[in-house]
Structure 1
Amino acid sequence: MTELAAAFPVDAAELDRLRARLAGAAAGAGVLDVAYRTVDSPVGELLVAATERGLVRVAFAGEGWDAVLQALAARISPRVLEAPARLDGVARELAEYFEGRRHGFDVALDWQLSAGFRRTVLAHLATDVGYGSTASYAALAAAAGNPRAVRAVGTACATNPIPIVVPCHRIVRSDGGIGNYLGGPAAKATLLALERGQA
């Protein structure tokens, strides 16, 4: 493979053009079910993925992107392709958020990776806990209609497929402790500090 690569070198720009052509052809033929790209952020590089319905996944590097892409292929469709153009709006809104210029997201969301009570919790999270504020797991359980389901709320936050955009980082322990986070405690602290204007 190394000899072949040396015999037919392709620069990064050409590879990007080829990828864009492939993504365009796949979209035109209606065979691009899940598009993905990566974006830089203060909490590390993020993988973002979308279906035609909207943003379906935001993943931290620590989650293992190969595993994330395999899960998307298994749960949604095997037709997964790196197609950055479909996610330009998401990338722009995330950049604005990380620059402190955006306090909420307007991108369409595809909720198919969440169901039942978890989906209810995430819906409340997306609408009830505003930028720069926090709520406890217990408060979110009450808002979701089941005050005793604190542990289930923790599970919903831990399995949130669209972190940052659906802000599970705003949920903290009742004693004020930061609690767990899929992206790690340092990422959670960074996001909370950013929203408080301390980043």
Structure 2
Amino acid sequence: MTTAKRKRMPRADRMRQMIEVAEQVFSARGYAAASMDEIAELVGVSKPMLYEYFNSKEGLLLACIRESRAVLREVTEQATVGAVDAEDALRRGLLAFFVFIRERCQAWSLLRHEMVLIGTPAADEVEETRRQQTDLIAALMGGHFDTGDDLRAEAAAEFVVGACERLAIWCERHEEVSPGTATEYAMDVLWTGLRQRAR
């Protein structure tokens, strides 16, 4: 009896699958306790193949963080397209963020559990995610707000990112708070300070 040969998965699809499974394992176990053996077994590949793709466990973690950052950038950028004014743009961007952390809770877990990563390339990747979001918000403000100068816009963007991170962590303790409700809570505080500069 002959067995049909299993069709090889394209490299990009296999990499995406590995990242998806690794994200789940890192989120559930924590980076230190996560095992490349377990990840390989769940993906259905050999451990050497994981190393062939990512070189190391840290390399796999970095790939997970970069993937999460790319998705977060895409959803927040797309959310503000077509905003009618500054308030609408801010609300849309905030909602996209809070939906992301609810729907991609494992990715969010990787981005926020940075204390164990301090001094590693992974910590730098997490900080790069913050800078990405700060740059996006500062650019948004440049289009909708009279910020006065670039430093003021950057400072305001840092404030928005920091406030939303803390609110997102709080939301983890209050699962009854929907992304829409979290957005309104954020707007209550943030829009009060920003509305006077809206165009």
TM more than 0.5 = no
| Higher share of residues assigned strand | 1
Larger Rg: 2
- RCO comparison, higher one (Cα < 8 Å, 6+): 2
TM normalised by structure 1 equals 0.29
